[in-house]
Amino acid sequence: MKNCIRLLLLLYILAFLFVCHAESGMRAANNKDQAILVQAEATVGSPPFITLKWVKNELAVKYRIQRKLLNADGWDGDMAKLDSSINTYEDRDVQVGEIYEYKIYAQSYGQFNENINGKDTVLVEQFYAYGYVCAGINGIIPPSFGKVLILVDNTIAPSITSEMETFKADLVLDGWDVVVKNTQRAEKFDGAAVKATKQIIIDENDKEYDKLKAVILIGRVPVPYSGNLNPDGHDDHKGAWPADVYYGTFGEDNWTDFSVNNSTSGRAENKNIPQDGKFDQSKIPDVVSLQVGRIDFYNMTDFKISELDLIKNYLNKNHNFRIGLSGAQNACVVDDNFGGYIEGFSTSGWRIASLIGTSNIKADDFFTSLETTPMLWAYGCGGGNFTGAGGVGSTADFVAKSPKGIFTMLFGSYFGDWDVQNAFMRAAIASSPSVLTCSWGGRPQWFYHHMGMGLPIGYSAVVTQNNSTMYQSNYLYTPSYPSGIIYTMGIGQIQQALMGDPTLRMFMNDPSVPKTLSVFQPQGSPVAISWNFMISDDIMGYNLYKSINGPDGPFVRINSKLINLQTNTYSDSSLFEGDVYYMLRTQKITKTNTGSFINQSRGILKSLTVTEVKDNSFNNVSLKCQPNPALTSSNISLVLGFPSFTKITICDVNGIEIKQIIADNLSPGNHEFMWDLSQVNGEKVPAGVYFVKLETLSTKKVDKIVVMP
């Protein structure tokens, strides 16, 4: 008993001394203090280990670390308890290939402004700060991400065919199987149109259960509304809010329309009465299964160009990012104009440190930073209205300025109604030259750390939408809540939506893309596939995929194990009558600020018509070279109407052969070859005019090609 009394007395004295010291010298806590800036390093050793490193914070007194496997349902409990002098931890109980999530939380003390009995009071209070990192040593992610359904506004679809072909190809080359369908346009709320659009998604999912993973909405696809909520805290904004998350769930019976009766909202769209087509649920009533993103520029009149042109611009900058032309640096800016709120809105932004490195994140002005420095990430928050945030900017700034960001978060009042005219969040992705996604990051907090292991932004969106207690933003002890309070405003609610393409990833163009691919079928033989050697220290080898269902997939890997880097041929003996598509991708280990993962490049795609028997369905011979003029390579497309010995050579303007492309007995059909603009010694030919010469047993053809310097 005496020992217990002594211990209690000692604890009381320590607490008293701490509070006295704190009140005399402890600074005020800000939103950044409620996030732990952490990153990870992967070491392949004996044993392998992952090292966590975080930025010390003088308000922290103790750190705890928990871990779980990526898809586990809960944390394993504290694996370490560390004092404030330590800012690294080595996890030596890891397996190569696994992907882990780590939660680091810090017991901290700081000054907070509290209203006590109507009087503003500065108090020293205990709080917990949280940081998350997704890490691995050569972590393995799926080589194929599944099926993506693109739903296109049927009034837009006929005018964006070229951009859509590029977009579809980009998705396929990144490992998605693509399905495109049109749906009706709804400029005003239309409950029946919402249901009809949802039925398209359900029908597509039913074709192949669990293959559908993402939905991309392009144009004014009908906007669902649901709930009786106002997570921004404004009474005039309570009612139904836009709820694209509805398209990501499958439990239709969980979405009802008979109980909410609120016609007092200041905006007509927010009114919600029984049987009006708007759902009752303020909380997401079902597990979110699909990654949903919206590319919608209806009524964005401030931009002075048409909705159609804004969509085309978006798809073009999407393509540029995928092929590595954005120029974005591994950096993030946080523009926090809610510093006095103890809820810590901007911690969503500060936690991006795990993705870009703890030294590459800074507090600064949103537009000023993005106009001068291209950045992968940006966060801005402030008192809001439908078209702007105090201290951050407005839709007019997105129109007039050139924010060079990619992934963004914006938080302020009224942003949840992203379907209004000139909405601030849609203005972000409508801007030029590069912003591609935007989310309402604050109520609730968004957690994007999974992208450090190569996963799509839509994956993190689904995790955020399904989050209840797995990921915490802060934990605070106040006089009103002496047992502690977790700020959960917005968690699990229907307003969580992603503006932009959910399939985008951070490291899409890291592995080198194969430069050449040839596919042809010698008569009566398996399909011969070949490519140029790639001389690179970081490429591990190649994977070869095949589709017999068209260029949109699904593609199935046909090599049982990784093709060696020193190999440049493959023979496919599993013949199939008809058009076959082959895709080659390189594989490498991508190193990030959260470890390393096995990454695949964009693919290179070729097709041919395969025959198992003599087939005289073709009655012509054609030869075509693209691109022409050529800068780095040119594709030679051959249509052969009959089986024949076939020879293709490259000749200079004097008719002298400088390289042979093929000399073999070919089956009838389509054949694809690639000329890398080299001559027989491997060096690139000088700029000028060259001839591609085709010879078969019964015909000769010549096509001219111009080689650029």
Task: Name residue, tokens 């085709």.
Answer: 694
Using CA atoms, how far residue 599 sits from 418, 539, 547, 603, in Å, is 34, 10, 21, 12
Residue-wise pLDDT tens digits, 27-81: 899 999 999 999 999 999 899 999 999 999 999 999 999 999 999 999 999 999 9
Residue-wise pLDDT tens digits, 144-157: 899 999 999 999 99
**Amino acid identity, residue 117?**
N
Q: Which pLDDT band holds residue 324 (cuts at 50, 70, 90)?
A: very high
Q: Residue 345 and residue 441: Cα distance in Å, rounded?
A: 7
Q: Which domains does the chain have, with CATH numbers?
A: 2-140 (2.60.40.10), 518-707 (no CATH)
Q: Residue 175 and residue 554: Cα distance in Å, rounded?
A: 9
User: Poorest-confidence range of 248-252, 378-382, 571-575?
Assistant: 571-575
Q: Are strands 38-43 and 78-83 parallel, antiparallel or unpaired?
A: unpaired
DSSP for 181-242?
EEE---SS--HHHHHHHHHHHHHHHHHSTTTEEEEEEESSPPPPEEEEE-TT--GGG-EEEE
- CB-based contacts of 520, cutoff 8 Å, min separation 6: 527, 528, 608, 638, 662, 664, 666, 671, 672, 673
The pLDDT of residue 13 is above 60: no
- CB-based contacts of 482, cutoff 8 Å, min separation 6: none
Q: Determine the average pLDDT of the residues in 377-397.
A: 97
pLDDT of residue 391: 97
Q: Residue 134 and residue 68: Cα distance in Å, rounded?
A: 10
Q: Residue 193 and residue 222: Cα distance in Å, rounded?
A: 6
Q: Which pLDDT band holds residue 612 (cuts at 50, 70, 90)?
A: low
Does residue 455 contact residue 507 with C-beta atoms inside 8 Å? no
Q: Determine the average pLDDT of the residues in 162-174.
A: 97
The pLDDT of residue 424 is above 60: yes
The pLDDT of residue 690 is above 80: yes
Residue-wise pLDDT tens digits, 487-532: 778 899 999 999 999 999 999 988 889 988 999 888 778 899 999 8
Per cent of the chain over pLDDT 90 is 69
Q: Determine the average pLDDT of the residues in 291-313.
A: 97
Does residue 88 contact residue 53 with C-beta atoms inside 8 Å? yes
Task: Name the more confident of 137 and 639.
Answer: 137
**pTM to 2 decimals?**
0.86
